[in-house]
Amino acid sequence: MTQFQAPSQKKLKDISLYINGEFVKSNSQETFENINPFTNEPINHIAAGDAADIDAAVAAAKRAFHGEWGKMKLDERLDYVYKIGDLIEEHSEEIAVLESYDTGLPISQTRKMIARSAKNFRFYAEMVKSHLYGEAYQVDDEFINYSVRKPVGVAGLITPWNAPFMLETWKIAPALATGNTVVLKPAEWSPLSANRIAEVINEAGLPDGVFNVVHGYGETAGAALVRHPDVPLISFTGETTTGSEIMKNGADALKQFSMELGGKSPIIIFDDADVERALDACTWGVFSFNGERCTANSRVYLHEDIADDFIKKLKERVDRIRVGDPMDPNTQVGPLVHRNHYDNVKGYLELAEQEGCEVYSGHVPAEHSRGNFVPPTLLLNADQHMRVVQEEIFGPVIAVMTFKDEDEVIEKANDVRYGLAGYVWTKDMQRGHRVAQAIDAGMLWVNSQNVRDLRTPFGGSKHSGIGREGGFYAFEFYTETQIIHVAMKDHYIPQLGK
């Protein structure tokens, strides 16, 4: 691991697009400012790509797909994928620092995320080598039919600003390992680590055009990528409304979409639960990553017999959570990514009061007044019909509610438009399975925090997503299945007009 000096409030070099193996300015020469969420001072300027840059990147990716990358032997291709993982590991401290500097995520948490990002590449290299194969269908002695899985072409990847490096690599690794080429459009509020992945891939020596990054706004660069006729795949992670807009814009070109969208996930704590562990999981699940976490347990349902005690303990945790400089290894909650998002989350706290909640917040040290800090917050006395219970706030905020019995809590847990994740805490394992299976969500954890195994499917139901990422599920999206029918003898063919 190389040693890296933290930027400590200094400006960083400006960032270019990465197209066809070169770092270039945008065609329009336009840039946008990148802001540090801890100080609200500028970090650097980012090249603002638009449709012309997307055209150039897609053309380069298409050439690479039909050229060197497409013709490359499997082992050679996978060696590149392993190499990317190795280089991420080698530069992991530097990447973690950039990520925290850019997003405000605590450094202790970005360090872990970057380590997992390196694993994404190794995992998919191994998956493709050992598990990407077709099937054969013997039809009597007449036919042998077999399927092959082929890369699709240019994959358009559009990513959000929360956990940006992790989420980018989660898409890039399977896209490249299966043999596609990539145009990445990262979020405009977190461009630093997306640029670093371009540098890493450049260092790994992938052929020109295999991987491209076009920074820019969603409505210009993102929309141009979605509309582009030479991009058959769009993998998107972001807000539900953006996902819906993207699907409309790509409909004419009949794109394939993978949609990882918003969430408002419940954590249900029964009266027989291990209260201390449930408290750890509940607190971590909503306040880690500054609450900017798609699978955050942002609604807690407490059995009424344990509610008072649990709320008292939650308040004590909120009082003690260390809010501060994201670069400080002791910090547990940092500033939100951008002033606009901070205003949005603060707006929800005001709304919560108007809707009748008691808003109970932790503390932000006075010296951090320049940053986008929202302290860990409980919305007590929340009720199912409130907007703060129905809508995704995406900050360190949890709505606290109570329940009497199993049927009631299942109904309440399902009474939102989202269905990404859910968490159930009980020592009665029959009930644990029963309740988990009754929750309309893509991913459930029983007596567990959000622990992920890369082999398992990741994704949501209802308005939280379409399709699944992870494990074999990525093959469904990043490869096209082709079936070849071969006659082994002269079978009957109708002789029209003979």
Which residues are marked as active site? Answer: 260
Per CB under 6 A, 422 contacts ligand NAD? no
What's phi and psi for 26, nearest 5 deg?
A: -75, 155
Q: Which of residues 463-492 bind ligand NAD (CB under 6 A)?
A: 464-465
Per CB under 6 A, 156 contacts ligand NAD? no
DSSP bridge pairs for 145:
137, 485
- Of 65, 80, 161, 289, which one interacts with ligand NAD (CB under 6 A)? 161
Integer Cα distance of 295 and 443 in angstroms: 9
Q: Of 123 and 394, which CB lies nearer to ligand NAD in the complex structure? A: 394
Give the nearest distance from C-beta 490 to ligand NAD in angstroms. Answer: 53
Q: Which of residues 176-215 bind ligand NAD (CB under 6 A)?
A: 185, 187-188
Q: Which of residues 90-129 bind ligand NAD (CB under 6 A)?
A: none
What's phi and psi for 497, nearest 5 deg?
A: 75, 10
Q: Of 51 and 420, which CB lies nearer to ligand NAD in the complex structure? A: 420
Q: Of 261 and 349, which CB lies nearer to ligand NAD in the complex structure? A: 261
Q: Of 381 and 450, which CB lies nearer to ligand NAD in the complex structure? A: 450
Integer Cα distance of 285 and 41 in angstroms: 30
- Of 15, 127, 176, 246, which one interacts with ligand NAD (CB under 6 A)? 246
233-237 and 154-158 beta bridge pairing: parallel
Per CB under 6 A, 408 contacts ligand NAD? no
Write the binding mask 255 to 294 for ligand NAD: x where contact by CB under 6 A, - elsewhere.
-----xxxx------------------------------x
Give the nearest distance from C-beta 353 to ligand NAD in angstroms. Answer: 23
- Of 392, 423, 444, 463, which one interacts with ligand NAD (CB under 6 A)? 392
Asked if 466 and 257 touch (Cβ cutoff 8 Å), the reply is yes
**Residue in the shown chain whose Cβ atom is closest to ligand NAD:** 218
Give the nearest distance from C-beta 267 to ligand NAD in angstroms. Answer: 16
Residues 6 or more apart whose Cβ sits within 8 Å of residue 280: 449
Q: Which stretch binds ligand NAD (CB under 6 A): 36-44, 222-230, 424-432, 444-452?
A: 222-230
Q: List residues binding ligand NAD (CB under 6 A).
A: 158-162, 167, 185, 187-188, 218-219, 222-223, 226, 237-239, 242, 245-246, 260-263, 294, 392, 394, 420, 460, 464-465
